[in-house]
Amino acid sequence: IPVDPFDLVIFGGTGDLARRKILPGLFRRFCAGQVPSDARIVGAARTDLDSDGYRQMVREALAEFGRDIACDEGTLNGFLDMIQYLAIDARGETGWAELAELMVGKGRVEAFYFSVSPALFGDLAERLQHWGMADEDSRIVVEKPFGHDLASAKELNATLARYFDEKQIYRIDHYLGKETVQNLMAVRFGNMLFEPLWNAQYVDHVQITVAETVGVGGRGEYYDKAGAMRDMVQNHLMQLLCLIAMEPPARFDPDAVRDEKLKVIRSLDPVLPHHIARGQYDAMPGNEAEMPSYREAVDHPRSRTESFIALKTHISNWRWAGTPFYLRTGKRMAARSSEITVIFKDTPHSIFAEDAGRHRNVLSIRLQPNEGITLGVTIKEPGPGGMRLIDVPLDMTFAEALGVDGSDHVDAYERLITDVIRGNQTLFMRGDEVEAAWAWTDPIIEGWEARHDVPKPYDIGSDGPTDSTEMMRRDGREWRKVT
Ligand code: NAD
């Protein structure tokens, strides 16, 4: 179903994110027939280009980052025809009069995507209002990071609130746009099977892992000021935690869902220092030229920023009291893998012989690669060997269950952009959620700073520092293998 006609202005339209994600995402939706042909996409950035030059840049970006999109030259040209460019300065006067003129009273959805440094969010919002573009139907989309701590997030919220209503602000967390994340809600709230077991009585613990194989890449300067806690935990991992742990919302609508998520964040216990393992990747012996250590990559020989963190937390409410939630994320790990796993408790009593084997039910929700949901179920090993128990997966992997291949998948960004046009904020973070998340992470980070905590080195290609494995071992548990 096509969305309503819209004008989308991408501030930072020449940047990395626009070229890698936003424009290919829009193109994919265009090819799927969801973008009406009278929509307009305006790239707006500091780069000195005209519309033809920008269209050429978009063509190249699509060739590089949209290779999987099957479409003919005519369709591509149709997409490029709806694109134009304006050189604009978020902090100056250049381009604003032209943009205002372009956007004059068309009576259609107007969305402004702030794909620029967060330092410019306030300038953009202010100028949009000054030039009459912040009317009540317009929307702004803001990228991460949303603040650096609670104080800066509050300030940013207050700045945006001067010009836009909360209903107009779409704070992106692209993890929420992933197909499996929404499927998690369908599985939890669309089946009778899981919800009665979804509590401390039946769940032993929950693990959330987001493992990356990449290092800090070209983002060293930003990353070294942020670290894994700010870059990944405060937003993505906490959002996943909320969706796994929240109470059923009364309706699948933006505020009902976000109210429940907020309650989870506010029920999180503070994290004790010995429930945290911090790490920093070390150079790989013999391979230093190709894989620099974290400190080399950020060019800061004494950096105390973590590229890995594992922690244990509890949610103090009736549903989850006593159930640990383990969160783990890191760079340069053994594999690229994002997974939420719910490990159920042992059956209260085994009726089978001791050597029959005993398994726990494990529900694993995989975000990447191979998005899908698997439930491990114990059955009898087939054959004449007597009663021996084995664990088999009930597989809800999309590719197999639904016969879709990767190219049919809607990427997180394209889903979220269409949600912006449709005016659906369910998968976007509300200002109070972001602030509550910072209120939880700030004391942890302040604790490290006060103690001059130095993260433990870990090998590139490993599962993180031994502290992380130890933390689990002390609890008589182990991490799922990162594969
Ligand atoms: P980038 O540095 O590649 O691009 C920045 C863009 O901003 C360019 O188009 C540049 O022309 C424009 N710009 C800079 N100063 C400007 C000014 N004064 N006025 C107007 N335009 C100006 O950055 P990026 O990687 O595309 O990131 C953009 C935003 O998205 C940032 O907030 C970043 O944190 C966030 N983000 C990026 C990624 C990613 O994968 N690149 C992922 C998550 C979040």
Which residue minimizes the CA distance to atom 43 of ligand 1?
Answer: 144
Q: How confident is the model at residue 403 (pLDDT cuts 50, 70, 90)?
A: low
Q: Which residue has the higher pLDDT, 286 or 199?
A: 199
Question: Are both 109 and 200 inside the same structural domain?
Answer: no
Structure tokens at 436: 């509550």
Question: Are both 445 and 314 inside the same structural domain?
Answer: yes
Q: Does the pLDDT of residue 415 top 50, yes or no?
A: yes
Question: Are both 138 and 191 inside the same structural domain?
Answer: no
Which residue minimizes the CA distance to atom 40 of ligand 1?
Answer: 17
Residue 100 lies in a domain: yes
Question: Are both 126 and 272 inside the same structural domain?
Answer: no
Is residue 133 within 8 Å of residue 112, measured between CB atoms? yes
Q: Does the pLDDT of residue 168 top 70, yes or no?
A: yes
Residue 400 lies in a domain: yes
Residue 151 lies in a domain: no
Is 359 tagged catalytic? no
Return the pLDDT at 128.
Answer: 97
Return the pLDDT at 24.
Answer: 95
Q: Does the pLDDT of residue 6 top 90, yes or no?
A: yes
- What is the position in ligand 1's atom list of the atom closest to the CA of 14? 9
Q: How confident is the model at residue 396 (pLDDT cuts 50, 70, 90)?
A: confident
Which residue minimizes the CA distance to atom 44 of ligand 1?
Answer: 144
Which of 130, 148, 205, 236 is catalytic? The answer is 236
Residue 205 burial (CB count, 10 A): 19
- Ligand 1 centre distance from Cα of residue 117 (Å): 5
Q: Round the average pLDDT of the chain to a whole number and report it.
A: 93
Q: Does the pLDDT of residue 478 top 90, yes or no?
A: yes
Question: Are both 188 and 117 inside the same structural domain?
Answer: no
Residue 186 burial (CB count, 10 A): 11
* Rounded CA separation 158/232 (Å): 23
Q: Does the pLDDT of residue 325 top 80, yes or no?
A: yes
Handedness of CA 436, 442, 447, 453 (dihedral sign): positive
Q: Stretch 328-357: mean pLDDT, rounded? A: 93
Q: Does the pLDDT of residue 408 top 60, yes or no?
A: no
Residue 261 lies in a domain: yes
Residue 116 lies in a domain: yes
Q: Does the pLDDT of residue 52 top 50, yes or no?
A: yes
Does 15 appear as a known binding residue?
yes
The whole domain housing 229 covers 176-474
Question: Are both 418 and 355 inside the same structural domain?
Answer: yes
Is residue 114 within 8 Å of residue 138, measured between CB atoms? no
- Ligand 1 centre distance from Cα of residue 219 (Å): 11
- What is the position in ligand 1's atom list of the atom closest to the CA of 92? 18
- Ligand 1 centre distance from Cα of residue 50 (Å): 19
**How much of the chain, in percent, has pLDDT values that exceed 90?**
84
Amino acid at 138: S
User: How many domains is the chain built from?
Assistant: 2
Q: What is the pTM of this model?
A: 0.95
Q: Which residue has the higher pLDDT, 394 or 249?
A: 249
Is residue 126 within 8 Å of residue 22, measured between CB atoms? no
Return the pLDDT at 407.
Answer: 44
Question: Are both 313 and 389 inside the same structural domain?
Answer: yes
Question: Are both 97 and 195 inside the same structural domain?
Answer: no
Question: Are both 121 and 185 inside the same structural domain?
Answer: no
Does 19 appear as a known binding residue?
yes
- Ligand 1 centre distance from Cα of residue 118 (Å): 9
CATH number at residue 351: 3.30.360.10
Is residue 264 within 8 Å of residue 315, measured between CB atoms? yes
CATH number at residue 71: 3.40.50.720
Measured from CB, residues less than 6 Å from any atom of ligand 1 are: 11-18, 45-47, 88-91, 115-118, 120, 143-145
Return the pLDDT at 371.
Answer: 85
Q: What is the pLDDT of residues 261-273, one digit of tens each?
A: 999 999 999 999 9
Pick from 230, 208, 144: nearest CA to 444: 230
The string of DSSP codes covering 2-67 is PPPPEEEEEETTTSHHIIIIIHHHHHHHHHTT-S-TT-EEEEEESS---HHHHHHHHHHHHHHH-T
Which residue minimizes the CA distance to atom 41 of ligand 1?
Answer: 17
Q: Does the pLDDT of residue 156 top 70, yes or no?
A: yes
Residue at which a domain ends, from 122, 143, 164: 143
Residue at which a domain ends, from 99, 123, 143: 143
Q: How confident is the model at residue 137 (pLDDT cuts 50, 70, 90)?
A: confident
Residue 209 lies in a domain: yes
Question: Are both 124 and 186 inside the same structural domain?
Answer: no
Residue at which a domain ends, from 124, 143, 162: 143
Q: Does the pLDDT of residue 404 top 60, yes or no?
A: no
Residue 129 lies in a domain: yes
Question: Are both 180 and 137 inside the same structural domain?
Answer: no
Q: Does the pLDDT of residue 405 top 60, yes or no?
A: no
Residue 428 lies in a domain: yes
- Ligand 1 centre distance from Cα of residue 156 (Å): 17
Q: How confident is the model at residue 410 (pLDDT cuts 50, 70, 90)?
A: confident
Does 130 appear as a known binding residue?
no
Does 304 appear as a known binding residue?
no
Question: Are both 107 and 249 inside the same structural domain?
Answer: no
